[in-house]
Structure 1
Amino acid sequence: MEWMIGAACASLVAGAAYAKKSLTLSGGLAAILMGTIYYGAGNLFWFGTLLLFFITSTLLSRFRKDRKREMEKSYAKTGNRDAGQVMANGGMGMLLCLANWLIPHPAWMYAFIGVMATVTSDTWATEIGSLSRKPPRSVLTLKVLTPGASGGVSILGSFAAALGGIVIGLGAFVFAQISGLELGSWLGWTLVGLIGGLAGAFADSYLGATMQNMYRCKVCGREVEVHDHCGQPTVSARGWSWMSNDVVNVLSSVIGACIAIGIGSILAL
């Protein structure tokens, strides 16, 4: 029954997102598969936290979208998420959910919060930070960068990242309570979300500034994540050829998960 409920709820949410063009067809199918597993192998703690990330991030992607339109041309992924982006953001959490289903242990839950806090913090930092009136600075050198440049951070974006991690931590605690799970205090989960999310988000910026495969536009000279910009093919600028934006998301999620396990174990929630 849990698997059927998960499939029905996931189909409803993914269908609505597809209709609103927040998901492509492949993204919608991936979301249905993922949501079914999250609820079937888990419960509201897992499914609700995933949904909290997806809904808040989708809403933020539409907030003042006109001001973000130019910068989105530089991103490999935009608000219209495909299967690759869906799996990059939620696939790690799905594996943790399955692991907990097979071998229940609190560490899987700590790691899950770290993963979801990371993808939420990173998304919120991008969506809100891009609205900052001050240009971002390099996470490595603190030099001023062009808005939208990979590896850039801002005060507004960092604040948004912290807030995203807190929301995931508190949300997970609420969903755990509703599900009848005894997982400690709200403060402990808030700290796991906050610290894990910030660690993962800054890891994402670091990888973006050092290893991510980036391209340069031959027309405007901007460093971008896409193969075409200003109507012309871009050329390779730096980074490792296999280190795509999706790979960066996965690696930063792993880092956020590891930090969350450490914080959760220390606090014993």
Structure 2
Amino acid sequence: MPALALLILSPGAHAALPRAASVPGGVALLPLGPVHAGQPAPRAWLGEQPVLVTAEKQRWIAIVGLALDLPPGAHELRVSAADGERRLAFEVRDKRYPEQRITLRDDSKVRLSPADEARAEREIAAIGRLKRHWRETAEHAETDTGFALPAHGRMAGRFGLRRFFNGEPRAPHAGFDIAVPRGAPVVAASGGSVLATGDYFFNGKTVFVDHGNGLITMYCHLDRIDAQPGAAVAKGQRLGLAGSTGRATGPHLHWSVVLNGAMVDPELFLPEAPRGKAAAGAKPPRPAAAR
């Protein structure tokens, strides 16, 4: 397994747009044309899923989430604007994410009983519906796509790792892990409203924050939830306390970003890509969110 980077992560200022990475699990930034006074924002769809469109430097930009299982190659965005409808072609490059092998003492979290399997499948379906949620804001102009880190701690697991639990292949790591002690505060990465909360078999106690226009963040493995569904939250407002609920080997925050229904790399929404000194043999809590 590759060495993990050791670094301290602190909340920071937001950037105007996420960084572009047209790979599975990344974000494509696609120009849609100039902003004209009096004309509404264009609308865009990837498949059947609406896509976030925002204005930046007098241009309309589609901010497209690319799912981890999206095949590399040519894809199309459907765009509807004042001058009609068109198809916008773009390329998705291949990316090979590293492997991560995790050993859990409780094998029942890997090889599930029929009852646990049924519960997990119900929860995966429910979370899938939340990920596809769409709440449109006025002219797509109110969505802050520059995030602050939701916790202060050491990076413990990057997005996209191809994971094996007790030798069994499972879904890639669809989030960013921050090693923090139990009870550490977890805050909203940006303003929005609490879409849902829950206590899930894999993700443990989780808060979903809807930032508008298909941009959603998830905060998993919490020890305590302090947010109420439907409540407005500001950037930096506390959502709960970090813990190790669900499938986790130790206290940490698993933070996920969902864009037009796709789980994408949270680091792309931070002001800078985290940098740090590699430290072989470091053993932070291992990422252990949904399969």
Q: TM-score range by the shorter chain?
A: under 0.3
Higher relative contact order, structure no. (Cα contacts within 8 Å, ≥ 6 residues apart) = 2
Which structure is higher in helix share?
Answer: 1
If each structure's strand is expressed as a fraction of its own residues, which one has the higher value?
Answer: 2
